[in-house]
Structure 1
Amino acid sequence: MTDSTLTPRPSQLDKAAFVAAYGEIYEHSPWVAELAWERGLDPRHDTPAGLAEAMGRILAEADPERQLAVIRAHPDLAGKAALAGTLTDDSTREQAGAGLDQCSPEELAHFERLNGAYKAKFGFPFVMAVKGSDRFAILDAFEARLENTPEQERHTAIEQINRIALFRLQARLAG
């Protein structure tokens, strides 16, 4: 995919319009978009990659408590919110794209057990940029990441959230 310019150009928007357009790129965390705008945007930020880099830097540089709040804003993969149909539109598309809406009852039970074990160990939900993955790869990643330390896992979750943001910005361009 080429890294074409987002329309309207993020660097040309006022704060309210920018936050309205990009405030939900980070799940229920419009403050990321607000701070990105406040730091200043220029034509380098008018592409999905450029804007994702600027917004990702905001999250990466945030204090651990703010990072944890963003991580905790994410739903469980194949969890109760997905089953109840209460995910954001972006999360619904992402989970369905990875086949999580097609899990067998046994697979759903496996996800439920892993979600519980992960939250018990880390205090936040497992976050993974699932685009290009399937439920089997996600389950493998889940089990592997349960071996991480809390600090390693917080950093991994932030990296995954920034990948999700890039994918969401690319999807908006394609849409």
Structure 2
Amino acid sequence: MQNQQAVFNSLDEADFVSLFGSIYEHSSWVAEQVWRQRSEYPQGYFDDIEKLKVAMRDIVDQSSDEQKLMLLRAHPDLAGKAALIGDLTNESKSEQAGAGLDQCTDIELAHFLQLNDAYRSKFGFPFIMAVKGATKKQILAGFEERTPNDLETEFTRAINEVHKIAGFRLADF
């Protein structure tokens, strides 16, 4: 693994962004900014995938609320319309399938669609949950727990969930 990771430091921008641009859903700007700021990090910093995770997280955390909102809006609904028409990234498709969201009954699917619409209507972005290792029941409980939140609380929670998703994706390297 160390030899594979050592290659990350030697990538040019296009290859780096190609490899890490999907870590944050439809938001390759995160990988682009990490690559552009690589001179601020010690030599060999990205030999450690955990350090790359921190660098990417820092980029997001230091971005404007508008950029964060765009990042949140780049995520698909869970068991939502994008899934129904097959318009998910490979990563999202795998994550949602792992939680059984590709196996919803018609009644479950209708319930998810209703919850997604209510959540999006209230907050202006999709319900985001790192679903790796979660069940449909846990995801539904997440909707119930989080939908009553205020916007500031939920915005912060959604960003933290995005970071968890990114962490899972980076761990797959």
TM over 0.5: yes
Cα distance in 1 between the residues matched to 2:143 and 2:47: 34
Partner of 1:96: 97
Could you tell me which runs of 5 or more consecutive residues in structure 1 were left unpaired when the two chains were aligned: none
Partner of 2:122: 121
Any conservation in 2 of the 1:19–1:30 contact (CA below 8 Å)? yes
Partner of 2:23: 25
Q: Quick one: which amino acid aligns to residue 108 of structure 1? A: L
Q: Quick one: which amino acid aligns to residue 155 of structure 2? A: R
Any conservation in 1 of the 2:6–2:44 contact (CA below 8 Å)? no
**For residues 31-110 of structure 1, what are the structure 2 equivalents within 5 Å?**
31-40=29-38, 41=41, 42-110=43-111
Give the Å deviation of 1:142. Answer: 1.0
Q: Quick one: which amino acid aligns to residue 11 of structure 1? A: N
Q: How many residues align?
A: 169
Any conservation in 2 of the 1:78–1:95 contact (CA below 8 Å)? yes
Give the Å deviation of 1:87. Answer: 0.4
SS in 2 for 1:36: helix
SS in 1 for 2:132: coil
Name the TM-score, length of structure 1 as normaliser. 0.91
Any conservation in 2 of the 1:48–1:166 contact (CA below 8 Å)? no
SS in 1 for 2:88: coil
Q: Quick one: which amino acid aligns to residue 123 of structure 2? A: F
Name the TM-score, length of structure 2 as normaliser. 0.92
Cα distance in 2 between the residues matched to 1:123 and 1:115: 11
Residues 83-122 of structure 1 show CA distances to partners (whole Å, capped at 9, x for unaligned) of 1111000000000001101111111111111101101110
Any conservation in 2 of the 1:99–1:134 contact (CA below 8 Å)? yes
The alignment yields a C-alpha RMSD, in angstroms, of: 1.4
Any conservation in 1 of the 2:82–2:88 contact (CA below 8 Å)? yes
Any conservation in 2 of the 1:15–1:34 contact (CA below 8 Å)? yes
Any conservation in 1 of the 2:6–2:46 contact (CA below 8 Å)? no
SS in 2 for 1:9: helix
Any conservation in 1 of the 2:130–2:161 contact (CA below 8 Å)? yes
**For residues 133-148 of structure 1, what are the structure 2 equivalents within 5 Å?**
133-148=134-149
SS in 1 for 2:125: coil
Q: Which runs of 4+ in 1 moved over 4 A?
A: none
Residues 64-86 of structure 1 show CA distances to partners (whole Å, capped at 9, x for unaligned) of 00000010000000001111111
Give the Å deviation of 1:8. Answer: 5.7
Cα distance in 2 between the residues matched to 1:45 and 1:138: 33
Cα distance in 2 between the residues matched to 1:162 and 1:48: 14
Any conservation in 1 of the 2:99–2:134 contact (CA below 8 Å)? yes
Give the share of equivalent positions with the same residue, in percent: 50
Partner of 1:12: 10
SS in 2 for 1:16: helix
